[in-house]
Every structure is written in structure tokens, then in C-alpha cells.
Amino acid sequence: MIKLLEILRFIGCGLGVFLAYYFGNTPEEILRIMTPWFIGSVAGLSGIEGLFFSEKAAQEKGFEKGSNYQRQNAFWFLSITLIAFIAYIYWWNSYANIALVLVFCLFLILSAINHAYTIYSEKNRTWQNVIRPVLTALLTIVFWHPVTSILFH
């Protein structure tokens, strides 16, 4: 199930980029479409994984199992996912989407640093630890154009 959730995260993010650039004609529209797809795919599915498949997910990532931190992290993921969908449904402005994206990207950047740290300090070379910094960089790059176009317009 953990592998399936990983695949769904990739598919959701890819679909979000495609839909955003296919249907979005302005940076605001691109950002509006991409935000719930990315946050829903990454955070939403991570929240589900953390709540319902926590033991298997922790085992696969090489982390401790069943910690309160793991549940707390899952609730954070689900919270930002819910707000991203509310922002989309109620047409919150671009700055609300930018705030969500910046908080989400900053969390992922800090998380990627933590994953990279565990690669070297704890010799935890699981797939998730190795790939997290790369995927975080790609995610940040994808959001760079619409966010900077809106902020520096």
C-alpha cells in the first residue's frame, strides 16, 4: 500500500502540473490549479499514510514506529490539505495560495534537510531519504514561475 501511495503522489503532482498549464492562462490560474493538486497529492496522501499505515510507512522509511510525532505530522498534512481545497473551492486570492505554497515548500525543504541529515548521520539510505531532497527541489522549481510572477509583477 505504501508503494501505491508513492505512485499516486507522483501521478497527482504530474496531473496537477499538466492541468495547471493546460487550463491556466495566467500565473494566478496556474497557481490556483496546481496548489490543491500538489498539496493534496503530497500532504493529503502522506496524512492518510501516517494515520492508517503508520507502522509500514515507518518501517519502509527506516524511522521509529507508532510515535505520537507520526500522528501529529499526519494531522498537519491533512490540515494543510483541507485548507488548500477550501482555498480552491472558495476562490481565495492568489496571495492565499502563495501563503499555502510557501508554508508547504518550507516544510518540505526543512524535511528534506532532515532526510539528508539522516542519510549521513544515521546511515539511513532508504529510498525515501535519498529521493526526498531531489523531489523537494523539483517541487520548488515547479512553483517558482507562478509564485515569482505574481509576487514580482
Amino acid letter for position 62: G
pLDDT digits (tens, 9 = 90+) for 108-147: 999 899 888 988 898 888 877 788 889 999 999 999 999 9
Whether 14 has a pLDDT exceeding 90, the answer reads yes
pLDDT over 90, % of the chain:
67
**Predicted TM-score (pTM) of this structure:** 0.88
Decide if pLDDT at 16 tops 90: yes
Which pLDDT does position 61 carry in this prediction?
65
| DSSP collapsed to 3 states, the chain | CHHHHHHHHHHHHHHHHHHHHHHCCCHHHHHHHHHHHHHHHHHHHHHHHHHHCHHHHHHHHCCCCCCHHHHHHHHHHHHHHHHHHHHHHCCCCHHHHHHHHHHHHHHHHHHHHHHHHHHHHCCCCCHHHHHHHHHHHHHHHHHHHHHHHHHCC
Q: Work out the average pLDDT over 33-42.
A: 97
Q: Model confidence over 57-75: pLDDT tens digits?
A: 767 766 666 677 788 999 9
When divided into structural domains, the chain yields a total of: 1
Q: Tell me, what amino acid is at 37?
A: W
What residue numbers bound the domain in which 127 lies?
Answer: 2-151
Q: Taking 80 as the threshold, does the pLDDT of residue 1 lie above it?
A: yes
Crossing angle, helix 54-61 and helix 45-52, to 10 degrees?
A: 110
Q: What is the pLDDT of residue 79?
A: 98
Average pLDDT, the chain: 91
